[in-house]
Structure 1
Amino acid sequence: MANQEKLLDLPLEEVIGDRFGIYSKYIIQERALPDVRDGLKPVQRRILYAMYQDGNTFEKPFRKSAKTVGNVIGNYHPHGDSSVYEAMVRMSQDWKVRNVLVQMHGNNGSLDGDPPAAMRYTEARLSSIASELLRDIDKQTVDFVSNFDDTTEEPIVLPSRYPNLLVNGSTGISAGYATEIPPHHLGEIIDATILEMEKPDCTLDELMAIVKGPDFPTGGIVQGLEGIRKAYRTGKGKIVVRGRAEVEPLRGGREQIVINELPYEVNKANLVKKMEELRLDRKVEGVAEVRDETDRTGTRVIIELKKEADANGILNYYYKNTDLQITYNFNMVAINRKTPELMGLKAILKAYVDHQKEVVINRSKYDLKKSVDREHITQGLIKAVSILDEVIATIRASKDKKDAKSHLSEQFGFTEPQSEAIVNLQLYRLTNTDIVTLEKEAEELKKNIARLQKILSSDKVLVNVIKKELLATKKKYEDQRRTTIENEIEEIKIDLEVMVASEDVMVSLTKHGYVKRSSLRSYAASNDNDIAMKDDDYLLFKQGMNTTNTLLIFTEKGHYLYLPVHMIPDKRWKDMGQHVANIIPIQPDDSVICAFPIADFEEPLYFNFITELGMIKRTELMHYQAQRHSKPLMALKLKKNDRLVNAHLTDGQANVLIATKHGFGLWFDEAEAGTVGQRASGVKAINLKDDDVVIGSAVFGVGQNPEIILVTQRGAVKKMAIYHQLEKSSRARRGVMMLRELKKSPHRLIGMSLIDSSDHLVILTGNGERIEVNASDIRSNDRLSNGSYVLDQNETGDVISIWKKTVDKQEDK
């Protein structure tokens, strides 16, 4: 009868879930995560055991790596040869593991990420310390299981004479779990293990008095004691690891930074390349060259500096912007009792101590059985030598070996093992001197049996045995700590001079938002009339600045743009420039209203913001220093339908003058507004009528006697002396009328500005006509006059905007 196919009708999610569950269990337990007891993943354990079984140990000559890889694949690990060889190479790289487990001859890779030579070229053997992981494995100390094809057996864990998981660390990713355990100092870990063993209720602080923190093979500096403490308590924590660098003097008054230790697992070639790219891109100033002078004596990366460069500033810049400083995240996951577990320092040490107790007990039982068996045989041999003639006669009278053993048992009471030993005795052992050797051996065996029985019966003796063995391992293999531990994570501050070449430039911003910086040479070769601008555009800001300064640009929606001068596009003075929205994205319906050059945010200056709905907000300059400037930042909180009309930077003692559309003017001290935070909305500046709004504002210092110019929509221009025509008042009042109110075609203010005799006023009308008026040609008017007309409204239409042609200060409009 033909075989029938058996088909199962199952939902896909059930099948996938079931299969993935099986796969996940395998890769968690049998591939990616280390065992807490010996700190090894299965592939690493199989490599070490295969080399041990093959006699490829540290006191013997090196053997081809390919032979070991073939051995591992054929007997224990049925996977690709590359995965086995890569695991083997990693255990030999002294910049990856703190104490190498495999010694390798030939190219085994490099700090630059170079691949190792093929396994047919390299040779390897177990290192001396790896033998400590395997010591006593033949004494039934650990459990063995059948290999993949049941032809041999392999250990499920190694005896591990020291806590390898912490000493060499581990890294791996499996399904749903990952592990990141840093290497530690052998001596510290062994001392902590002894403390945990002798005082199981010891605290984490007591352990951390011994274990200072990670000890990376590449050295470096670890910062963040709190992160280490958290990791040792919970299994997770964050620290900062930075390379070790020093500044060396060169001839000619120059200096160079020498980096001789890198953070753990940082690729040196990529680091040097990134450093050089930052230099070439002019992201960092003062660096002449970055080169790698590493040789067989050790790591040496040189950052050669230009004359008068700030070495510490440049080093800080590289710490912040390259892998010369990295963040290391502890994630101490290991397999404990066949289960992945996030473990702290104490839990890992306890698991190791439990394992060691089990190993020593198993070894002691094995040795005890061997000693008892040998003592039994020795007693038989001593008895046989004492009645040697009878024993010989009995053996000679026997037909064969079996008969001889039988006669010896019947006539003299020897047991079967003793009879076996007697008939196998070599003739030279029958001398008189041999009885002394046998008696001495029996005495030694008695002492050994008593010692082993003590170990098995007393936990205190057991602990002393483990302690003695751990101290012997420490004495043999301990070296100097390489990584320095610092309590606090240093906050990196980078001076702008490190990133930007100091240069004096001319900066301009137009009302439509076009910004540029030009060299003083380009500016001197041109004039303002050469600037490419749209007909209705004009200069809002023009001033000499330094590339290390910052330009703050405010928009009518209450935002500000933090624009370092070195980030402003470098253009010829006659070019239009670039729109600010291409540098910092602002909303399409937002527009710039004013700009301020800032050299030092710590200066005791104040911003005064005036809004259309009559609010004033006063805030210290220091609050507007920003770390990030990739998007618009909030300058003040605006009410619905409100907008920012103007902003002023003052010394805190200025007078504020506010003008409204209906011609009201209010003059008061800025100090009345109080000081609030950056994101506040401020207080009422002027009490407005229902249909009135603020159209402009000005500030002037104590003792000044400025004049203002007012322009109405009907083309009337009026000049007033503030002290003569207006009366100083206080905040939140209606103010005084600055225009005569007409019943028919009333004048409405379009603009107001401080002015002096050298200024030129430009008036733009609704049909695009531009009219220039010299301030000196306008005579001063009484407070209630409407000024004098400068245009025929019937021909030109309403005035839509005004500005001053000479613009050298940010208050001008």
Structure 2
Amino acid sequence: MSSDVPDPTDVEARAVENVRIEDEMEQSYIDYAMSVIAGRALPDVRDGLKPVHRRILYAMHEMGVTSGSSHRKSSSIVGETMGDYHPHGDSAIYDTLVRMAQDFSMRYPLVDGQGNFGSMDGDPAAAPRYTEARMAAVSEELLSDIEKDTVDFQANYDDRLQEPGVLPAAFPNLLVNGSSGIAVGMSTNIPPHNLGEIIDATIELIDDPDATVEDLMDHVKGPDFPTAANIVGRDAIYSAYKTGRGRIRVRAEFEVEEWKNGRERIVITELPYQANKARMVERIAEDVTEGDIEGVTDLRDESDRDGVRIVVECNRGANVEVVKNKLLENHLEKTFGVINLALVDGQPQVLSLKETLEEYVTHRREVVRRRSEYDLAEAEDRAHILEGRLKAVENAEDVVDLIRNSEDRTAAKDGLREEFGFSVEQAEHIVRMQLGSLTSMETVEIEEEYDEVTVDIERLTEILESEQELLAVIKDELGEIRAEYADDRRTSIIEDHGTVTHEDLIPEEEVFVVMTEDDYVKRMPIENFDPQGRGGKGIIGADVKDDDRVSTVFRANTHDYLLCFTNRGKVYRLKTYEIPEMGRTARGKSAVNILDLEADEEITAIVDTDAFGDEEYVTMVTRNGYVKRTAGDAFDNIRSTGIIAADLEEGDELVDVDVTNGTRDLVIATEGGMTIRFDEDEVRSMGRNARGVNGIDLQEGDAVAGLVATGGNGHDDRALLTVTQNGYGKRTLLSEYRTQSRYGKGLIDIKTGDRNGSVTAAKAVSADDQLVMMSERGQIIRTRVDEISTVGRNTMGVIVMEVDADDAVASVDVIPAESLESGAENESTDESADEET
């Protein structure tokens, strides 16, 4: 080989770059890790989707498989997604499609599936050739306006097509549906939330960019899982929202039921999120077999399409509390580790609740701006064409002649531009117009359309020039989505006794608390119930079972301490906010998850108090007419299992409780319409274990209905309100009830009988007070006291609440006038603050 010709091996050697193997391995691993992080495992903070979710939804959008179309074979959707956008295998795509259709996996499923899409038992979905799917209506909101250049597109894997890098996302899907994934060296686990709460928090942040996490938590109570259940404690929620990380305890919903032959059973109706029901039942059975759980005779899974129902039957001698605690310790509680990690500008970042919503608002601001620019350009183009059409109509004869005399279409367009000054677009449109478009009727339609387009241009220009108007558009659209898709919260938040709570995160508000005979309990904001006229039927306040009845309704503040007295003479204590807040039509949560009630205990009276004064007493009355007073400080330390409040004789029950100060008169009302009034001093103060003394000499078949503490020595200008089972009631001045000695027969207060029925409640009221009444079947009415006329004793009364033939008034509570005035002042203060802001 000639020396002038270069050695080919030398040329190849010069093209090789020498690197250290550890450097190459490090860089290659980082490249791989970032590919997994950005391309597979982590969701984008803007639309809350990973690429596979986004590509499935976009493929369905392109296929026209929307919520209004017929279902399409899942295999067809998987094939289109894999062939055009996601070349990572059909199994991964189908698994993702299945999860998006499972109502127990996603709070708001994005896919409407038809066929077998798996179960909570861990059963797999049927093969894609057997199932069908289409987009859910809510998922279309994620893709709305995508054709209006609202988001950036990128080339697909083989450069044949374009796919969106993110979806417009008309609601904050990352928080609403949550996400989970494991990347290289990091993972994300974001719980789902209630759509209405997240949208309310987003609007709050738009209105007040300086809002804190605590402010946003006034709206977002906590995660809202599709399988409901209960979150135990608020500390972990606060930590997760403040720092992006937290460990949330999720507890199953269950209740202890009496069964035949004096036996009891535990019925589980809601499971923690992502729990495998079949596996959980197997593990409980294993613990029973191995002796770790004693006293269980049978375990059945009675779940069906209507919901979860797992029955744990106990033998007669079993300690149900021990069984319950064992189940809680090992099976009925799970820890959900929150890691709010998402991609922000392509980089993984742990975000607080506020930061997550801020990123979403930024994204939505960009979407609305780009959409407005697109719509404005379209509107301006249309206005330009309409201006040309109007000019053509004004010169119709000359335009027609020019076009008729032109050699061809090109010459006609050139002539229109030279003769009349039309633009290229206008001339092109005019030569394509039909002669019928030159009529006077068409002229009116063009002018009307031009006016509409002009208005649109002005509005779009206003949006683009004003940040405030643009944000107002975002808020309006969020409000529309809330109205269309929001529903009631499913997951309740309960307190774990002995844990520290963030009371400052709980807004102080007046609420109604409703309890049923089967000890279901809930609270509802008082503003949900507007006052109605006397004699109305009211509205639904609770959805009770056929064999259950409402027993109590009362008003309280969320930060008040409640002393809950039971028919067996025990008392428990809890904060009002520990009672789950639920909607009007909800049944409530079993009180067994809040209070350690015994099997045959029912709450019959509740005292709303934060702390007792030095001279205050808890005064109690029983169904058989016994009355007793106990110093308030005897109830300062109440165990979670409750303490004895009164020692009852066989067959007697505690009926009502009031707080007195030693100077009051006591009025006892009976179901038969009798009342007795006597000085409080006639009942000496006694300990908690005492039975009490006789308060009224009951007639045969009569029983005590209630207790009222009034001002002593006639110093009380209020009236005694008496309400009967059939919804009748009356007001009589307390001065008409003379003071007698204790243990008399009393005076006739109201006539009972077929029309009125027995007395349900007796309350001391002022004319400015309001009443809340609830029937056994769950109807509730709020009305003004002054609508009930003042009459004398021994009268029939007037209709206060209309109840059905198979229903009856269950409970009555008074909303004092000062409480109403305080609420009005708070509303006025809030309005003034809003105006200043």
Q: Note the residue ranges of structure 1 that are not aligned, 5 or more in a row.
A: 492-813
CA distance in 2 between partners of 1:366 and 1:160 (Å): 17
- Which of 94, 99, 116 does residue 107 from structure 1 map onto? 116
CA distance in 2 between partners of 1:410 and 1:264 (Å): 73
CA-CA distance at 1:74 after TM superposition:
0.9
Kept after mapping to 2: 8 A contact 1:276/1:289: no
Q: Note the residue ranges of structure 2 that are not aligned, 5 or more in a row.
A: 1-7, 500-837
- Which of 314, 319, 324 does residue 315 from structure 1 map onto? 324
CA-CA distance at 1:285 after TM superposition:
1.1
> Residue 264 of structure 2 corresponds to which residue in structure 1?
255
- Which of 407, 418, 442 does residue 410 from structure 1 map onto? 418
| Local SS of the residue matching 1:246 | strand
- Which of 63, 73, 77 does residue 68 from structure 1 map onto? 77
**Do structure 1's residue 279 and structure 2's residue 296 form an aligned pair?**
no
What are the residue-to-residue correspondences of 1:629-708 with 2, within 5 Å? none
CA distance in 1 between partners of 2:270 and 2:333 (Å): 11
> Residue 718 of structure 2 corresponds to which residue in structure 1?
none
| Local SS of the residue matching 1:151 | coil
CA offsets, 1:640-672, max 9 Å, x none?
xxxxxxxxxxxxxxxxxxxxxxxxxxxxxxxxx
CA offsets, 1:86-138, max 9 Å, x none?
11111111111100001111111110111111111111111000000000000
> Residue 559 of structure 2 corresponds to which residue in structure 1?
none
- Which of 147, 160, 165 does residue 174 from structure 2 map onto? 165
What are the residue-to-residue correspondences of 1:42-81 with 2, within 5 Å? 42-81=51-90
CA distance in 2 between partners of 1:426 and 1:45 (Å): 44
CA offsets, 1:759-812, max 9 Å, x none?
xxxxxxxxxxxxxxxxxxxxxxxxxxxxxxxxxxxxxxxxxxxxxxxxxxxxxx
> Residue 221 of structure 2 corresponds to which residue in structure 1?
212
CA distance in 2 between partners of 1:166 and 1:318 (Å): 31
**Do structure 1's residue 467 and structure 2's residue 475 form an aligned pair?**
yes
CA distance in 1 between partners of 2:136 and 2:321 (Å): 42
Amino acid across the alignment from 1:185: N
CA-CA distance at 1:488 after TM superposition:
3.5
CA-CA distance at 1:305 after TM superposition:
1.2
**Do structure 1's residue 442 and structure 2's residue 467 form an aligned pair?**
no
CA distance in 1 between partners of 2:237 and 2:498 (Å): 15
**Do structure 1's residue 421 and structure 2's residue 425 form an aligned pair?**
no
Percent identity, please.
47
**Do structure 1's residue 476 and structure 2's residue 476 form an aligned pair?**
no
CA distance in 1 between partners of 2:157 and 2:286 (Å): 51
CA distance in 1 between partners of 2:51 and 2:474 (Å): 25
> Residue 302 of structure 2 corresponds to which residue in structure 1?
293
CA offsets, 1:585-622, max 9 Å, x none?
xxxxxxxxxxxxxxxxxxxxxxxxxxxxxxxxxxxxxx
Q: 1:489 to 1:346 in 2, by over 3 A?
A: farther
| Local SS of the residue matching 2:246 | strand
- Which of 21, 30, 34 does residue 43 from structure 2 map onto? 34
Kept after mapping to 2: 8 A contact 1:37/1:160: yes
| Local SS of the residue matching 1:488 | coil
CA distance in 1 between partners of 2:223 and 2:321 (Å): 26
**Do structure 1's residue 227 and structure 2's residue 236 form an aligned pair?**
yes
> Residue 187 of structure 1 corresponds to which residue in structure 2?
196
> Residue 335 of structure 1 corresponds to which residue in structure 2?
343
Kept after mapping to 2: 8 A contact 1:226/1:487: no
> Residue 22 of structure 1 corresponds to which residue in structure 2?
31
Q: Alignment RMSD, CA only?
A: 1.4
Kept after mapping to 2: 8 A contact 1:255/1:305: yes
CA-CA distance at 1:427 after TM superposition:
3.2
Amino acid across the alignment from 1:359: V
| Local SS of the residue matching 1:91 | helix
Deviates more, 1:383-392 or 1:51-60: 383-392
> Residue 363 of structure 1 corresponds to which residue in structure 2?
371
CA-CA distance at 1:309 after TM superposition:
2.1
CA-CA distance at 1:327 after TM superposition:
1.2
CA distance in 1 between partners of 2:102 and 2:481 (Å): 21
> Residue 393 of structure 1 corresponds to which residue in structure 2?
401
| Local SS of the residue matching 1:145 | strand
Kept after mapping to 2: 8 A contact 1:169/1:183: yes
CA distance in 2 between partners of 1:398 and 1:240 (Å): 82
CA distance in 2 between partners of 1:31 and 1:136 (Å): 25
CA distance in 2 between partners of 1:431 and 1:315 (Å): 83
Kept after mapping to 2: 8 A contact 1:132/1:162: yes
> Residue 347 of structure 1 corresponds to which residue in structure 2?
355
What are the residue-to-residue correspondences of 1:598-613 with 2, within 5 Å? none
| Local SS of the residue matching 2:493 | strand
> Residue 375 of structure 1 corresponds to which residue in structure 2?
383
CA distance in 2 between partners of 1:91 and 1:315 (Å): 34
Kept after mapping to 2: 8 A contact 1:225/1:488: no
Q: 1:306 to 1:33 in 2, by over 3 A?
A: same
CA offsets, 1:405-443, max 9 Å, x none?
110111111111111111111233222211111000000
Kept after mapping to 2: 8 A contact 1:332/1:342: yes
Q: 1:489 to 1:143 in 2, by over 3 A?
A: farther
Kept after mapping to 2: 8 A contact 1:223/1:240: yes
CA offsets, 1:674-699, max 9 Å, x none?
xxxxxxxxxxxxxxxxxxxxxxxxxx
> Residue 154 of structure 1 corresponds to which residue in structure 2?
163
CA distance in 1 between partners of 2:354 and 2:379 (Å): 37
CA offsets, 1:177-203, max 9 Å, x none?
110100000000000000111110011
CA offsets, 1:466-519, max 9 Å, x none?
00100000000011110001243678xxxxxxxxxxxxxxxxxxxxxxxxxxxx
Kept after mapping to 2: 8 A contact 1:259/1:300: yes
| Local SS of the residue matching 2:400 | helix
Count of matched residue positions in the alignment of Structure 1 and Structure 2: 490
**Do structure 1's residue 117 and structure 2's residue 126 form an aligned pair?**
yes
CA distance in 1 between partners of 2:325 and 2:102 (Å): 30
**Do structure 1's residue 488 and structure 2's residue 532 form an aligned pair?**
no
Kept after mapping to 2: 8 A contact 1:223/1:490: no
| Local SS of the residue matching 1:407 | helix
CA-CA distance at 1:12 after TM superposition:
2.7
CA distance in 2 between partners of 1:263 and 1:276 (Å): 19
CA distance in 1 between partners of 2:45 and 2:366 (Å): 14
| Local SS of the residue matching 1:329 | strand
CA offsets, 1:682-739, max 9 Å, x none?
xxxxxxxxxxxxxxxxxxxxxxxxxxxxxxxxxxxxxxxxxxxxxxxxxxxxxxxxxx
Kept after mapping to 2: 8 A contact 1:192/1:211: yes
CA distance in 2 between partners of 1:462 and 1:49 (Å): 26
| Local SS of the residue matching 1:216 | coil
Kept after mapping to 2: 8 A contact 1:240/1:489: no
CA distance in 1 between partners of 2:498 and 2:65 (Å): 47
What are the residue-to-residue correspondences of 1:497-516 with 2, within 5 Å? none
What are the residue-to-residue correspondences of 1:545-556 with 2, within 5 Å? none
